[in-house]
């Protein structure tokens, strides 16, 4: 298989966590950049990233790049690619675009021009053209235009990798699974100490923690990835993906005496119902309880609290709420506490100095992951 340049996209602020993860997973030429992480490898490596990365949102493979200051040069650049390698006239196609500091600014127009070049090239060679299907395309192409430099990418996963397949129910302000995985990494949790999320909502942090601790590859619950619908998905790659899935399944460690205790609680009984249902779709053993934060108890041995409290933007919370929350969390003596905070009110209410504060984005909400060692 030929070597390709990949770009794993990541939520803003999670790029360093993704870089560390991809290095641990032994990918080659891993380098963090704005919005994601570069790495190189074969299609098998790209498939493995889809299966094994907890933090990547998409895995993109670069097909071409070049100078594209206007619509004509962009069209010509896209036409140089042998698209028939991945797309036949029977396949469906979707193209989307982003542009920054470029002559071309209208992203829909950029996507349209690129799509025209792709379908024209395929029609000229095969006598028929693929259809566009924005909702459920076989092949997804991304155009990234920055300072008149265009890069065209194929999306291996086909849809966002935060959709693991286990979350059938969501709470009021759910955290994406990919962001929860990055938060766990930034929290310093060693995957052995007991862990509690006392405002767990639908259980995303707790479930991601259990799956990480037991080496359950996040893509195992997915039926298939986008690249498995491409024209290039030949026998060799089918076999390679089956082997990757088998190896990942063999690495899973079942719940046992070595397993960390993972607990989730929430004041809302409906949220706990959702968390239990979500955990049941996996092999996770998590103790979920309906409990206000004020009644949550520290572990008898040093543990971790990792949590995503309500902030004004999405759930009602006021200063009194944050005061009570801070008081409850300060009672977790000997514990490491990581709070995904979307408001300065939480930091003020905590009154003790954080050990680290990491800037992260929860969707478009700017947040800080505040870490405290409670003594
Ligand atoms: C931002 S949501 C957490 C979402 C969660 N991370 C998920 O992915 O589903 C905040 C949660 O805090 C819970 N909550 C609010 N006040 C609480 C309290 N006093 N005690 C415990 N949980 C509380 C809410 O019910 C809500 O589920």
Length of the chain: 375
Q: 142-146, 179-183, 319-323, 365-369: which range is least confident on average?
A: 319-323
Residues 315, 308: Cα–Cα separation, whole Å = 11
Pocket flag, ligand 1, residue 201 (CB < 6 Å): yes
Residue 335 is assigned to a structural domain of this protein = yes
Are residues 35 and 149 located together in one domain of the fold? yes
Say whether pLDDT at 312 is over 70: no
Tell me, yes or no, whether 101 and 145 share the same domain. Answer: yes
Tokens in use for 194? 């007991």
| Top mutation candidate among 204, 310, 342 for ligand 1, by most atoms within 8 Å of CB | 310
In a domain, 324, yes or no: yes
**Phi/psi of residue 290, nearest 5 degrees:** -85, 115
pLDDT of 266-296, one tens digit each? 999 999 999 999 999 999 999 999 999 999 9
Q: How confident is the model at residue 315 (pLDDT cuts 50, 70, 90)?
A: low
Residues 192 and 146 in one domain: no
Confidence of residue 313 (pLDDT cuts 50, 70, 90): low
What would the pLDDT profile of 192-251 be if each residue is shown by its tens digit?
999 999 999 999 999 999 999 999 999 999 989 999 999 999 999 999 999 999 999 999
Burial class of residue 72 (count of CB atoms within 10 Å of its CB; 0-12, 13-18, 19+): exposed
> What confidence tens digit (pLDDT) does each residue in 47-92 have?
999 999 999 999 999 999 999 999 999 999 999 999 999 999 999 9
- Per-residue pLDDT of 150-207, as tens digits, reads 999 999 999 999 999 888 777 777 899 999 999 999 999 999 999 999 999 999 999 9
Exposed / middle / buried, residue 255 (Cβ in 10 Å: 0-12, 13-18, 19+): middle
User: Residue whose CA is closest, atom 27 of ligand 1?
Assistant: 201
The answer to whether residue 251 sits within a structural domain is no
Q: Are residues 278 and 358 in the same domain?
A: yes
Kindly state whether residue 222 falls inside one of the protein's structural domains. no
Tell me, yes or no, whether 13 and 48 share the same domain: yes
User: Probe ligand 1: pick from 164, 199, 369, max atoms within 8 Å of CB?
Assistant: 199
- Minimal-distance CA residue to ligand 1 atom 7: 174
Average pLDDT of the chain, as a whole number: 95
Ligand 1 mean position to 285 CA, how many Å? Answer: 20
Pocket test for ligand 1, best of 175, 177, 201 (most atoms within 8 A of CB): 201
What is the model's pLDDT at position 174? 87
From the number of C-beta atoms within 10 Å of its C-beta (0-12, 13-18, 19+), residue 250 rates as exposed
Q: What is the pLDDT of residue 152?
A: 98
**pLDDT at residue 316 is higher than 80:** no
Distance 334 CA to ligand 1 centre (A): 23
Split at pLDDT 50, 70, 90, the class of 329 is very high
Given a cut of 60, is residue 43 above it in pLDDT? yes
Measured CA to CA, the distance from residue 281 to residue 168 in angstroms comes to 8
CA of 163 to the centre of ligand 1 (A): 21
Q: Which residue's CA is the nearest one to ligand 1's atom 5?
A: 201
Residues 148, 182 within the same domain: no
Q: Name the maximum alpha-carbon separation found in the chain.
A: 72
User: Structural domain tally of the chain?
Assistant: 2
Q: For residues 113 and 115, what is the distance between their CA atoms, to the nearest angstrom? A: 5
Phi (first) and psi of residue 343, to 5 degrees: -150, 140
Question: Quick one: average pLDDT of 8-20?
Answer: 98
CA 328 to centroid of ligand 1, rounded, Å: 14
* Number of alpha carbons in the 13 Å side-chain half-sphere of residue 224: 9
Q: Which residues pair with 263 in a beta bridge?
A: 196, 287
CA-to-CA distance for 122 and 124, rounded, in angstroms? 5
Q: What residues have CB less than 8 Å from 342, skipping those under 6 apart?
A: 311, 312, 313, 362, 365, 366, 367
**pLDDT at residue number 223:** 87
Please report the pLDDT score of residue 184 as a whole number: 98
Q: Flag the least confident range among 33-37, 134-138, 318-322.
A: 318-322
pLDDT tens per residue, range 334-372: 999 999 999 999 999 999 999 999 999 999 999 999 999
11 and 129 in a common domain:
yes
Q: CB-based burial of residue 41 (10 Å sphere; 0-12 exposed, 13-18 middle, 19+ buried)?
A: buried
Mean pLDDT confidence for 94-108 = 95
Does 51 share its domain with 127? Answer: yes
Instruction: Give mean pLDDT, residues 106-112.
Output: 97
Q: What is the CATH number of the domain that holds 265?
A: 3.40.50.150
**Do 344 and 205 fall into the same domain?**
yes
Tell me, yes or no, whether 294 and 357 share the same domain.
yes
Domain that holds residue 311: 177-214+259-373
The set of long-range contacts for 126-133, using a CB threshold of 8 Å and a minimum separation of 24, is 126/84, 126/88, 126/89, 127/89, 128/89, 129/89, 130/87, 130/88, 130/89, 130/90, 130/91, 130/92, 130/93, 131/92, 131/93, 132/92, 132/93, 132/94, 132/95, 133/92, 133/93, 133/94
Q: Work out the number of other CB atoms within 10 angstroms of the CB of residue 20.
A: 17
Is the per-residue pLDDT at 115 higher than 70? yes
Q: Is there a single domain that holds both residue 106 and residue 189?
A: no
Domain C-terminal end among 109, 125, 155? 155
Q: How high is the pLDDT of residue 317?
A: 72
Instruction: State how far Cα 372 lies from the chain centre.
Output: 25
What is the Å distance from ligand 1's center to 266 Cα? 6
From 207, 266, 349, give the residue whose CB has the most ligand 1 atoms within 8 Å, as the site to mutate: 266
Q: Which of 1, 8, 363 is nearest to 153 (CA)?
A: 8
The CATH number of residue 85's host domain is 3.30.2130.30
Q: Following DSSP, what letter does each residue of 56-124 receive, concatenated?
A: -SEEEEEEEEEE-SSHHHHHHHHHTS-GGGT--TTSEEEEEEEEESSS---HHHHHHHHHHHHHHHHHH
Residue 300 inside a domain? The answer is yes
231, two tokens: 């024209």
* Residue nearest (by alpha carbon) to ligand 1 atom 14: 199
Calpha distance 62→143 (Å, rounded): 10
- Phi then psi for residue 211, to 5 deg, are -65, -40
Say if residue 190 is in the same domain as residue 124: no
């Amino acid at each position: 298989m030929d070597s390709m340049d990949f770009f794993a996209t990541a939520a803003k602020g999670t790029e360093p966590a993704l870089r560390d993860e991809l290095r641990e997973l032994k990918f080659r030429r891993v380098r963090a950049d704005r919005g994601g992480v570069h790495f190189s490898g074969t299609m098998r490596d790209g498939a493995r990233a889809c299966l094994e990365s907890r933090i990547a949102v998409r895995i993109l493979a670069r097909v071409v790049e070049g100078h594209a200051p206007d619509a004509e040069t962009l069209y010509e650049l896209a036409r140089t690619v042998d698209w028939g390698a991945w797309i036949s006239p029977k396949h469906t196609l979707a193209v989307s675009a982003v542009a920054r500091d470029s002559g071309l600014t209208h992203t829909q127009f950029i996507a349209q021009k690129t799509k025209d070049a792709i379908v024209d090239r395929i029609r000229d060679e095969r006598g028929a053209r693929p259809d566009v299907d924005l909702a459920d395309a076989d092949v997804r192409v991304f155009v990234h235009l920055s300072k008149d430099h265009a890069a065209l990418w194929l999306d291996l996963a086909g849809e966002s990798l935060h959709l693991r397949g286990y979350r059938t129910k969501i709470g009021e302000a759910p955290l994406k699974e990919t962001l929860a995985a990055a938060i766990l990494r930034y929290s310093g949790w060693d995957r052995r100490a007991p862990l509690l999320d006392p405002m767990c909502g639908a259980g995303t942090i707790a479930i991601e923690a259990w799956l990480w601790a037991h080496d359950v590859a996040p893509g195992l619950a997915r039926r298939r990835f986008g690249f498995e619908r491409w024209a290039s998905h030949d026998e060799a790659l089918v076999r390679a993906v089956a082997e990757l899935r088998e190896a990942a399944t063999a690495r899973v460690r079942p719940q046992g005496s070595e397993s960390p205790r993972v607990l989730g609680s929430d004041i809302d009984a409906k949220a706990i119902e959702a968390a239990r249902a979500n955990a049941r779709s996996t092999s996770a053993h998590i103790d979920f309880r309906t409990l206000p934060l004020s009644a949550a108890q520290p572990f008898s041995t040093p543990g971790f609290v990792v949590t995503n409290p309500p902030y004004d933007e999405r759930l009602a919370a006021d200063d009194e709420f944050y005061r009570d929350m801070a008081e409850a969390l300060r009672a977790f003596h000997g514990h490491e506490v990581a709070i995904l905070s979307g408001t300065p009110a939480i930091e003020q209410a905590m009154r003790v100095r954080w050990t680290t504060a990491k800037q992260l984005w929860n969707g478009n909400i700017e947040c800080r992951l505040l870490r405290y060692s409670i003594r």
